[in-house]
Structure 1
């Protein structure tokens, strides 16, 4: 049976924020950005809300019709300019001013993001914890990869856990260069997928 997918709108904002927060609360990278468990429980949702707002404005969010999973996508043109140098600092100031890792994660991932070639960027993908492992993430990604294949577009992402990396490898993504070692923290894996003919 297929998974019904639709494009999220402003009315879906809180749903998307809740999905992202629940799915990433215990993610290794989220744990590194917000090392204190109680602080993470209260501040992490603010970061997920900021990410949701950015993608609702300049990208696209796909959500399963039943509201159990979502994927945040950005179309990156070949002539994309470097990231707004002040963006990570503004995000830190708005979310958690004393936490330099909120800013650092944005700067480090921007530094490894490939440039010079148009591609689809999977910023984040989340399934409600009770629905993980049901193929929802695969369905959300596959719908965009099918379009990428038709249009000859590659796709890019950063895997934040060994588990997600394995999923992306099954979908044709390969490690791009080498993993990103977060200072005193976990690894992230920049991954690239060439379109399939």
Structure 2
């Protein structure tokens, strides 16, 4: 079995990282609700993930990529404890990309972000905002390598971790890493539910 390399994401990798996450989230229920048009969603998601990574996540030094033979297979966007809120300046810098990507659907994106913020735990924790594998390598252990890399650090620091699962089918996967469902957040306009999950350190 060939080794999967996990490393901090570099600025030069933002575009390829964003393309991988865009493909990973193309059929995600939350993204489909936010941007129902398939073609628009395919174009928009890489732009959104690139803006988030470039203007917020890279500064937290907690974005990681997993690759094999120089090819990038998966990415995880984490926030360190105390850093999950985007600053007004970061939000301002991301806004042009969001507006360009989402157009009239930007209101739904805002509604989602507001609900997630309202339900976000206050206790200091590592926040896994986004994790995704390219569909071509799904099931090959890339996501697992990324989860282990950061959760080992959480355990070493005695720090809890938090995420929101946007797919019911992924809940069992996260539970294997020690996450537990703490509730359900439902989007407006008959939108899909998402499941907040918390992991105590081991």
For Structure 1 versus Structure 2, the TM-score category normalised by the shorter chain is 0.7 to 0.9
Q: 1:101 aligns with which of 104, 108, 111?
A: 108
Q: Alpha-carbon deviation of 1:95?
A: 3.8
Residue of structure 1 equivalent to 2:81:
76
- Residue 83 of structure 1, CA deviation: 5.6
Q: In angstroms, what is the RMSD of aligned CA positions?
A: 2.2
C-alpha change, 1:84 and 1:64, in structure 2 (3 Å) is closer
Residue 43 of structure 1: how far off its partner (Å): 2.0
2:173 corresponds to 1:172: no
* Secondary structure of 1:35 counterpart: coil
State which of 138, 141, 153 in structure 2 corresponds to 1:135: 141
Q: Write the deviation string for residues 39-80 of structure 1: whole angstroms up to 9, x where unpaired.
A: 212222221222222211334211113211111110122xx6
2:132 corresponds to? 126
State the distance in 2 between where 1:146 and 1:24 align: 25
TM-score (norm 1): 0.88
2:62 alignment partner in structure 1: 60
Matched ranges for 1:1-197 at <5 A: 3-53=4-54, 54-66=56-68, 67-77=72-82, 84=87, 87=91, 90=95, 92-93=98-99, 95-99=101-105, 100-115=107-122, 117-176=123-182, 178-183=183-188, 184-196=190-202
- The ranges of structure 1 where at least 4 consecutive aligned residues each deviate by more than 6 angstroms after the TM superposition are none
User: Take 1:81 and 1:45, find their aligned partners in 2: how far apart are those partners?
Assistant: 21
Task: List gaps (5 residues or longer) in structure 1.
Answer: none
Structure 2: gaps of 5 or more residues: none
